[in-house]
Amino acid sequence: MAAAESDREVPSALCTEFLNFSVKDTASKWLQVTDLYKEVYHHLARYVPKIYCLGPNLNPQSEDLLAQMLLQSPLEWYLCGEDPSTGLAKLEQNNQPSQLCGHVFKVGEPTYSCRECAADPTCVLCMQCFLGSVHKEHRYRMTTSGGGGFCDCGDTEAWKKGPYCQKHEPNISDSCQEDPLAHLSTDMIARCYNVFSVVLKYAVDMLTWDKEDELPLGLEPPDRSDTYYCMLFNDEVHTYEQVIYTLQKAVNCTQKEAVSFATTVDRDGRKSVRFGDFAFCELAKSVIVRNTSRQSKPLRVQVMHSSVVAHQCFALKALHWLGHVIGYSDALRRILCQVGLERGPEGENSSLVDTLMLCDSKMWKGARNVYHQLFMSSLLMDLKYKKLFAIQFAKNYRRLQTDFMEDDHERVVSVTSLSVQLFTVPTMARMLITEENLMTTIIRTFVDHLRHRDLQGRFQFERYTAQQAFKFRRVQSLIGDLKYVLISRPTEWSDQLREKFLEGLDTFLELLKCMQGMDPVVRQVGQHIEMEPEWEAAFTLQMKLTHIISMIQEWCATDERVLIEAYKKCLTALTHCHSGFADGEQPITLSMCGHSVDTIRYCVSQEKVSIHLPVSRLLAGLHVLLSKMEVAYRFPEQLPLSELSPPMLIEHPLRCLVLCAQVHAGMWRRNGFSLVNQIYYYHNVKCRVEMFDKDLIMLQAGASMMDPNHFLMIVLSRFELYHIFSSADCRKRYNRENANKDVVQQNNTLTEEMLHLIMMVVGERFEAGIGQVEGCDEIKREILHQLCIRPMAHSELVKALPENENKETGMERVIDCVASFKKPGVTGRGLYELRPECAKQFNLYFHHYSRADQSKAEEAQRKLKRQNGEDTALPPPVLPPFCPLFASLVNILQCDVLLGMLGAVLQWAVEPSAGHWSESMLQRVLHLIGMALLEEQQQLENSSEDNDVYFNFTLKMSRPGEAPSNTASVLALLENLQNAPHLEVHEGMIRWLLKTVAGIKTMRERSASASTVTASESRGQEETACDKDKAERKRKAEMARLRREKVMAQMSEMQRHFINENKELFQQSLEELDASTSTSLEHRRIKIVSHRYCSPASSDAALACVGPRRSRPGEKRQVVTCILCQEEQEIRADGKAMVLAAFVQRSTVMSKNRTRPPHDPKHYDPLFMHPDLSFGTHTGSCGHIMHSHCWQRYFEAVQAKEQRRQQRLRVHTSYDVGNGEFLCPLCECLSNTVIPLLPRTMGSSSCEQPGLGQWLKISGQQIKAMHSAHRKLQPVSTVEETVEEECPAPEVFTVDYIPTNPYSSTIKEMLATFGTATYKVGLKVHPNEQDPRIPIMCWSSCAYTIQSIERLLVDEKKPLFGSLPCRQDDCLSSLARFGSACWTAACQPTVQGHFIRLLAALIPDPQVEASPCILDVDMLHLLVSVVLSYGSVHSQDSSGLSVDAVQLHLFHLITVAHMVQILLTSGPEEVTMEQESGEAERGEEEGACRLYNTLRTHVGSSLPEVASGWHLWRCVKTGILPYLRGAALFFHHLHGVPAPPELHALCPGQWEVLCGYLSLPSNLLQLFHGQQELLEPLLHGWCTHPGIQQTLQGGGVLVSFPRESNSLIDLPDDYSALINQASSFTCPKSGGDKSRAPTLCLVCGSMLCSQSYCCQTELEGEDVGACTAHTFACGAGVGIFLRVRESQVLFLAGKTKGCFYAPPYLDDYGETDQGLRRGNPLHLCHERYRKIQKLWRQHNITEEIGHAQEANQTLVGIDWQHL
Ligand SMILES: [Zn+2]
Ligand SMILES: [Zn+2]
Ligand SMILES: [Zn+2]
Ligand SMILES: [Zn+2]
Ligand SMILES: [Zn+2]
Ligand SMILES: [Zn+2]
Ligand SMILES: [Zn+2]
């Protein structure tokens, strides 16, 4: 909306009307009339068009005000029959509020659901209710609301327990059933009824009004003016950009206005874009329509009369008002519900509520939202009317859904989305099923909308257009509704419910029949398919229906009669699907091993086969239930068991499994990826429960009813392996057969798959009903087998397990039985590990393993056994027994056909011929034998009398084979194979099998010889077996040990070799690892450095790093190695330049003032740093050293490569070469310049040096001399005329002397390079080698870096010296030495000028203007700059004055200034106990007091009186410490003086040692008092600077010392607190709108509206998102954010760099939840947050981004600047 428009004047005519208007009179009049309806309409007709819509721009404030005065107030008066302010209050007082909370969720608000108590996952609580509920102690789930929906607190049906929070707990005295109307007078009820009727009718009339130029009867305005609006409506077809572009063309608005229009249209659903006469609006309409009709249907535009728009606006207002008024009383709410649902004159479905619902899809978004809200706060809050509403909703259901299909709005703004509020209430759902036949209605509606069928009536999704796809997506919401209806299972069944449920099931079976056999495939031979067939739609349907199918089974499981009927119906449906089964086919006869069976002729590889068999699978599910509920045994007569044809039951599932095997064997390669994908999903955890698993069950069901030999022959036939195993001499087949190699390979794989299938049919018994197991055994087994692969995190396990309709896996109940939890460290996540005792249940052929899983698990389990010193054979686990219905399945294991097959494979293994046999085949056969043996053993152990064990595999396996003549028995073959050299891997397994056979034989013999064998004997036998076992194990362990040792020896030999080859590399990486241990290394990179850590020989003589007495470490050569050419190089001033890779960046990490506006880079004077440190320049280095020429060559190569790459493809890199960035060639650390390495300066050892007074005099003279010399250099015109008398320079000071530059040309070049880089980055300007600010920036960066390192050491609680990694030591040394040399690269008078100005801040100099006041100067920056710039002055002094002496004077002076600074800002005394102080301390305290009082005499009353010297001294001591530590670091690195050992540790007495090292008295005040007469005038000068008074009186930023280290903001422990905070955050730019991506700056705590058009701003000529913009203001280009909705940390640097980082919030399983998908409660992990903070304090964010982008190239392509 154009903000420039001034507020519209209220028309004067209205003013007079307004003045004459009386609310009371109007209401009284209404109270007397008979036809209130007519009267109110008349009133509205008169006023509404005068208030609303009078111009192009709506004016909400004044409109609302007038509407309240003229329209709503009379209604309220009428309603109450008195002044509403008293009337409504009375109502509220008498109200007995509903126990429902009903809080309607905003977008992004947190919602909570209890995973233990919620009836279903749609039951949620608001934060308030949750915190007051019992569920906060339970296992809960937290999500963010998508908007809409409300809090279910108080709804007893929504919660299994704890339905009320503390606030909504009902009073016991309350009778819940009481009619809320009982408290109201009949008059009141009548009035209320009247007024609600009129108002609701009016609102409905207007909102459903579809004429553009007319009004409903009774609302025609008395005087009609002819103005119109051109109204633009929203749709989901056109993009933002299209709308914006079109609007700019159509109504001539600016881009900004167009964006605002588009935003409103998107939010409210419509917006007027033009106001005027009809033709004017019509014109705009035609342009918009024309412009948008080209590709798609045009945007919807209407030209509407302004009075129509006005009434619609008020109609919305009226609905709001209704919602507001019923909030006063439940009675009013009930009356409104009654009014709304009252049947209208048109009969059925004609109430006002019906009318609104049925027009829903015709209304604009804004109107829908408003009436949906009203429904929620009225109909859904009143339990009685909620039911009535639900009935109406169900009656209209079909129509509403059909409208929704055509509607082009999202579902959240459709009335159909209310279904979740109605259908999830169990009693309501049940009622709707029985009374409104809802289940059938939903399924019918669904089927009706899927019209694409093939000739057999099956769904067909081929040639699926985009629009159909869109519709298909919409239809899926119906499945959601069906799920809601079924989600709670009935506990009691009425006959009516049975009837309607079975009717619904019938309809559902119709649906499934349309799916049975859909998307069939035929094997492609010859050439590859041309087009991948469509498969996703069918699978989507299957996936969506998965839970429905499961739930229908669960419903059936609650009632025997329903189950029996359902089973019959399902069987009929299946028979119907396969009618014509085997028709026209000649049956063929299969025979093997003396058995024969008839079957049809069918080849999966030649005919049509489909993966979709939902009817068969549903029947399989129901069949298991028959067994589980024991219906099959109790009512066999009611079941159509005789109608079952087992071969028919297994036929289709078997084909499907064979298809998978053939795909696996590579036979379907030409059918492309669509088939591969289908097979993948068939087994996938999302689908398998109702696909693969059920097919297997169907095979089990069928096989259990068949002769096992017949079953196996049919299986062989479908696998197309029958001819191989049935031939008379199959054991010898390959000797003669000369088959194609591919075919052989295929057959091998098929045989393996078939054997696996047999194992599964016999072995999968973990579903209740198939095997005798508990419900939770199945899930335990799943978890166990996942963990056999490897330890897994909670989320990985959840992903591997099927979820039920409530999104639960049931894992939490059982996980502790099978696994133990291991907590995560600072990285990684918590892991579950398999309990060791569970490993014996491992089944290598677990049916849910993929081949990959299987081999990983095999490897892991073998390794585990090896570690435990056990035999590595992996025999099958002991299985639970089958349920009776399936019990006959075990006979498969001992049937003749199987033994024939086992014998054949074993025989092939004995005489292997190339390629005609596989090890996996043998492995499976051995496993099968093992299963059979275990079965026999189990049965023997469990039976009371051994002779009734009919299962006798040991007997069968000892019989000789049949064909051709008597061949070896299985047992004989096994014994034969035991020692076969080519089968070494299987040796263990075969041994285990033979041992088991022996065991079983003993058992049988023992039972045969009855109980004569004593128990002790058998134990004796076992023991000897045991001993043998032990001996064997010991021998193996010994062998293993020897082997290990040999391998280790080999390894270390290799390592030695490797180290020799890569000596340099190896050392460096070791050094990186730990600097403190590096002294032990022989070769140091910088050899001299090792010296630092040794205490010097003369450790008694105190070490000093500054001043004439400073210690001079002996001269050492520094030799370093270039990482690029590996050559050694000595560091010398005249040698080849060596450089360190470095990264310079702007920083605000230490800023105490983030509001200071960024400076104007052109005119900014960086000479003095303000103590608030608002912006600084940080220099870091990875510490890798190169020759300057090697580096240059490398950089040129990088540049060239980048150019080529950019030409080829538009990809970005993680670094910006154009900006001088590159990656360190060794460690790939982001760098943007290099620092030259320089030798230490050798101070001349000094003779007698001047004292302070004398030096002050000398320097005064020198400065004067320089002033006059510099003036001469300037052009004459600018020289002021008042030239003082020529100042004679001291003789020894030659101002025009130009010293020789000591450095080699390459070093000079590098000095310029680094200087320019620091200047360029620090000031954000283009490089300019001539700029006088270059040296200043370098000194400043040196000081800033020292300060940040000093802070870091304090924060990390590390000693000042000895704990830095050497890369930082090297970096600081080179920075300091560079600083002292950089004047040689600049113009000397310029640097001298800097020195003069710096010194003038301390020693007043009349010739320097505008010196800052000392409160505006950071003293460490001043110290570093002044010391480093002095070199330029000293070079012209030949008097023998030593640099050291001057440095010490400067240092003392600045230290005094800093003390003054601290005292001035020390603040008032804290009330603390006066401490007892010793003699020495008393002296210090006195000194502090004296100095303070001196200051007070200068400054006056702005300085408070402080009596306690102890307080002052403490202020000074703590305040100055960071500065002293910084100074020590500085001088240490400048001069290379080793630090005293005390400073290498964190021991007491540091203060004295530190002062000693810095040549300071430990009582610092002596500095002042010892030279008082000299310093007094300076002090006076400082204190009388006008800036002091100004600052002390609050005129500027007052920084007190010591400056606290900055931390990232405090985060709440519970993540939902953050979500809540973010949900109430609104976009600052678009008037109260919710922000879509609220993002929290972790540096300053600002919440931003990220990743959105509304908050884009322009930065340096580019549109950037709120985060990037904030980054520049808050973090000098670097930002750390938390994306609250995503639970993700975002790092940004500059406009193009960024990465996501793991958030510091973890769930109880030690995992993060990026994207908040899992919803587990999240809590702050302090270690991880500290890690992020450390990255930030170390200035490593940019580097972290660089590494992330190098590791993951997709990060490079993201438009970070739009976040
Ligand atoms: Zn609530
Ligand atoms: Zn509550
Ligand atoms: Zn709970
Ligand atoms: Zn080199
Ligand atoms: Zn490096
Ligand atoms: Zn910030
Ligand atoms: Zn915004």
Kindly give the distance from the C-alpha atom of residue 1650 to the centroid of ligand 1, in angstroms, as a whole number.
29
When mean pLDDT is compared across 557-561, 803-807, 1110-1114, the lowest value belongs to 1110-1114
**Ligand approaching nearest to the C-alpha of 169:** 2
| CA 389/CA 397 separation, integer angstroms | 12
Confidence band, pLDDT 50/70/90 cuts, at residue 846:
very high
**Ligand approaching nearest to the C-alpha of 1646:** 6
When mean pLDDT is compared across 813-827, 1602-1616, 1647-1661, 1707-1721, the lowest value belongs to 1647-1661
**Ligand approaching nearest to the C-alpha of 158:** 3
Q: How far is CA 877 from CA 133, 1628, 1745, in A?
A: 46, 64, 50
Kindly give the distance from the C-alpha atom of residue 1188 to the centroid of ligand 4, in angstroms, as a whole number.
7
Kindly give the distance from the C-alpha atom of residue 127 to the centroid of ligand 3, in angstroms, as a whole number.
14
Please indicate whether residue 1027 or residue 48 has the higher confidence score (pLDDT): 48
Kindly give the distance from the C-alpha atom of residue 1646 to the centroid of ligand 2, in angstroms, as a whole number.
31
- Where helices occur in 52-139 by DSSP H, the ranges are 60-67, 73-80, 84-94, 127-131
Kindly give the distance from the C-alpha atom of residue 180 to the centroid of ligand 6, in angstroms, as a whole number.
52
Token pair 């023992």 is found at 1006
pLDDT score at 918: 86
User: Residue 991's closest CA among 952, 956, 1033, 960?
Assistant: 1033
Residue % of the chain over a pLDDT of 70: 87
The secondary structure of the chain in percent helix, strand, coil, rounded to multiples of 5, reads: 55, 10, 35
Is residue 719 within 8 A of residue 954, CB to CB? The reply is no
When mean pLDDT is compared across 206-210, 299-303, 454-458, the lowest value belongs to 454-458
**Ligand approaching nearest to the C-alpha of 1151:** 6
Please indicate whether residue 1631 or residue 301 has the higher confidence score (pLDDT): 301
Kindly give the distance from the C-alpha atom of residue 125 to the centroid of ligand 1, in angstroms, as a whole number.
5
- Asked if the model's pLDDT at residue 301 lies above 70, the reply is yes
**Ligand approaching nearest to the C-alpha of 1068:** 5
**Ligand approaching nearest to the C-alpha of 1644:** 6
**Ligand approaching nearest to the C-alpha of 1148:** 6
Kindly give the distance from the C-alpha atom of residue 1195 to the centroid of ligand 3, in angstroms, as a whole number.
63
Cis peptide before 964 (omega within 30 of 0): yes
Question: For the chain, what is the mean pLDDT?
Answer: 83
- Asked if the model's pLDDT at residue 1014 lies above 50, the reply is no
pLDDT score at 1074: 38
Kindly give the distance from the C-alpha atom of residue 1140 to the centroid of ligand 4, in angstroms, as a whole number.
12
**Ligand approaching nearest to the C-alpha of 115:** 3
pLDDT score at 57: 64
DSSP secondary structure string for all residues of 1249-1267: ---HHHHHHHHHHHHHHHH
The SS3 of residue 1736 is helix
| CA 1653/CA 1762 separation, integer angstroms | 9
| CA 69/CA 72 separation, integer angstroms | 6
In this structure, what token pair is assigned to residue 364?
């604009």
In this structure, what token pair is assigned to residue 348?
């059925």
Kindly give the distance from the C-alpha atom of residue 1067 to the centroid of ligand 4, in angstroms, as a whole number.
18
When mean pLDDT is compared across 734-738, 1246-1250, 1759-1763, the lowest value belongs to 734-738
Kindly give the distance from the C-alpha atom of residue 1646 to the centroid of ligand 6, in angstroms, as a whole number.
6
Kindly give the distance from the C-alpha atom of residue 1607 to the centroid of ligand 6, in angstroms, as a whole number.
12
**Ligand approaching nearest to the C-alpha of 104:** 1
When mean pLDDT is compared across 981-985, 1500-1504, 1715-1719, the lowest value belongs to 1500-1504
63-114: pLDDT as tens digits:
788 888 888 888 998 888 888 888 888 888 877 777 788 888 887 888 999 9
Kindly give the distance from the C-alpha atom of residue 1196 to the centroid of ligand 6, in angstroms, as a whole number.
37
pLDDT score at 16: 66
In this structure, what token pair is assigned to residue 983?
């089968």
**Ligand approaching nearest to the C-alpha of 135:** 3
Kindly give the distance from the C-alpha atom of residue 117 to the centroid of ligand 3, in angstroms, as a whole number.
4
Kindly give the distance from the C-alpha atom of residue 98 to the centroid of ligand 1, in angstroms, as a whole number.
12
Kindly give the distance from the C-alpha atom of residue 294 to the centroid of ligand 7, in angstroms, as a whole number.
32
- Asked if the model's pLDDT at residue 1048 lies above 70, the reply is no
pLDDT score at 129: 92
Kindly give the distance from the C-alpha atom of residue 102 to the centroid of ligand 1, in angstroms, as a whole number.
6
- Where helices occur in 1385-1478 by DSSP H, the ranges are 1388-1400, 1419-1434, 1443-1464
Kindly give the distance from the C-alpha atom of residue 245 to the centroid of ligand 6, in angstroms, as a whole number.
34
Kindly give the distance from the C-alpha atom of residue 1184 to the centroid of ligand 5, in angstroms, as a whole number.
5
pLDDT score at 1068: 44
∠ CA 1158-1159-1161, rounded to 5°: 125
Kindly give the distance from the C-alpha atom of residue 534 to the centroid of ligand 6, in angstroms, as a whole number.
50
Instruction: Please give the radius of gyration of the chain, using alpha carbons only, rounded to the nearest integer.
Output: 44
Kindly give the distance from the C-alpha atom of residue 1123 to the centroid of ligand 4, in angstroms, as a whole number.
7
Confidence band, pLDDT 50/70/90 cuts, at residue 683:
very high
Kindly give the distance from the C-alpha atom of residue 165 to the centroid of ligand 2, in angstroms, as a whole number.
4
Kindly give the distance from the C-alpha atom of residue 289 to the centroid of ligand 3, in angstroms, as a whole number.
55
- The β-bridge partners of 275 are 229
Helix count and strand count (H, E) for the chain: 63, 25
Write out the H or E segment, with its range, that includes residue 1043. Answer: helix 1015-1061
Kindly give the distance from the C-alpha atom of residue 1117 to the centroid of ligand 5, in angstroms, as a whole number.
24
The SS3 of residue 967 is strand
Kindly give the distance from the C-alpha atom of residue 1689 to the centroid of ligand 7, in angstroms, as a whole number.
20
Kindly give the distance from the C-alpha atom of residue 1147 to the centroid of ligand 1, in angstroms, as a whole number.
45
Kindly give the distance from the C-alpha atom of residue 1659 to the centroid of ligand 7, in angstroms, as a whole number.
16
Looking only at the bridges linking them, the beta strands covering 140-146 and 107-114 are antiparallel
**Ligand approaching nearest to the C-alpha of 1193:** 4
Kindly give the distance from the C-alpha atom of residue 1098 to the centroid of ligand 6, in angstroms, as a whole number.
51
**Ligand approaching nearest to the C-alpha of 168:** 2
When mean pLDDT is compared across 844-853, 1135-1144, 1249-1258, the lowest value belongs to 1249-1258
- Asked if the model's pLDDT at residue 859 lies above 90, the reply is yes
600-628: pLDDT as tens digits:
888 899 999 999 999 999 999 999 999 99
pLDDT score at 991: 92
**Ligand approaching nearest to the C-alpha of 1120:** 4
**Ligand approaching nearest to the C-alpha of 1126:** 4
Kindly give the distance from the C-alpha atom of residue 433 to the centroid of ligand 2, in angstroms, as a whole number.
30
When mean pLDDT is compared across 587-591, 1594-1598, 1709-1713, the lowest value belongs to 1594-1598
pLDDT score at 1022: 46
Kindly give the distance from the C-alpha atom of residue 123 to the centroid of ligand 3, in angstroms, as a whole number.
11
Kindly give the distance from the C-alpha atom of residue 1670 to the centroid of ligand 6, in angstroms, as a whole number.
6
In this structure, what token pair is assigned to residue 202?
């009016």
In this structure, what token pair is assigned to residue 27?
């209401």
Kindly give the distance from the C-alpha atom of residue 1384 to the centroid of ligand 3, in angstroms, as a whole number.
75
pLDDT score at 1013: 41
Confidence band, pLDDT 50/70/90 cuts, at residue 1072:
very low
Kindly give the distance from the C-alpha atom of residue 167 to the centroid of ligand 2, in angstroms, as a whole number.
5
Confidence band, pLDDT 50/70/90 cuts, at residue 1096:
very low
Kindly give the distance from the C-alpha atom of residue 834 to the centroid of ligand 4, in angstroms, as a whole number.
54
Token pair 């009014």 is found at 339
In this structure, what token pair is assigned to residue 521?
């495939």
When mean pLDDT is compared across 512-526, 804-818, 1151-1165, 1397-1411, the lowest value belongs to 1151-1165
pLDDT score at 874: 92
Kindly give the distance from the C-alpha atom of residue 1126 to the centroid of ligand 4, in angstroms, as a whole number.
6
Kindly give the distance from the C-alpha atom of residue 1119 to the centroid of ligand 4, in angstroms, as a whole number.
13
Buried b (16+ CB within 10 A) or exposed e, 536-546: ebbbebbbbbb
pLDDT score at 1092: 37
Confidence band, pLDDT 50/70/90 cuts, at residue 1179:
very high
Kindly give the distance from the C-alpha atom of residue 1641 to the centroid of ligand 6, in angstroms, as a whole number.
5
| CA 438/CA 429 separation, integer angstroms | 8
Q: Within its chain, how far is the Cα of 492 from the centroid? A: 44
917-976: pLDDT as tens digits:
888 999 999 999 999 999 999 988 887 665 567 888 988 888 887 655 667 888 988 988
**Ligand approaching nearest to the C-alpha of 140:** 3
Residue 983 has phi, psi (to 5 degrees) of -120, 35
pLDDT score at 144: 84
1118-1150: pLDDT as tens digits:
888 888 888 888 888 888 899 999 999 999 999
Kindly give the distance from the C-alpha atom of residue 1122 to the centroid of ligand 4, in angstroms, as a whole number.
5
Kindly give the distance from the C-alpha atom of residue 1596 to the centroid of ligand 6, in angstroms, as a whole number.
22
754-796: pLDDT as tens digits:
999 999 999 999 999 999 998 889 999 999 999 999 999 999 9
**Ligand approaching nearest to the C-alpha of 1670:** 6
**Ligand approaching nearest to the C-alpha of 141:** 3
Kindly give the distance from the C-alpha atom of residue 176 to the centroid of ligand 3, in angstroms, as a whole number.
24
Q: How many residues does the chain have?
A: 1763
Cis peptide before 533 (omega within 30 of 0): no
Is residue 1423 within 8 A of residue 1454, CB to CB? The reply is yes
Residue % of the chain over a pLDDT of 90: 34
Kindly give the distance from the C-alpha atom of residue 1143 to the centroid of ligand 5, in angstroms, as a whole number.
11
Confidence band, pLDDT 50/70/90 cuts, at residue 1296:
low
pLDDT score at 242: 83
Kindly give the distance from the C-alpha atom of residue 1085 to the centroid of ligand 4, in angstroms, as a whole number.
14
Burial class (CB in 10 A: 0-12, 13-18, 19+), 1275: exposed
Kindly give the distance from the C-alpha atom of residue 1358 to the centroid of ligand 5, in angstroms, as a whole number.
24
- Asked if the model's pLDDT at residue 7 lies above 60, the reply is no
| CA 1448/CA 1678 separation, integer angstroms | 38
User: Residue 964's closest CA among 1044, 907, 1032?
Assistant: 907
Kindly give the distance from the C-alpha atom of residue 97 to the centroid of ligand 1, in angstroms, as a whole number.
14
Kindly give the distance from the C-alpha atom of residue 422 to the centroid of ligand 2, in angstroms, as a whole number.
19
Q: Name every residue whose Cβ is closer than 8 Å to that of residue 1026 and which is 6 or more positions away in sequence.
A: none
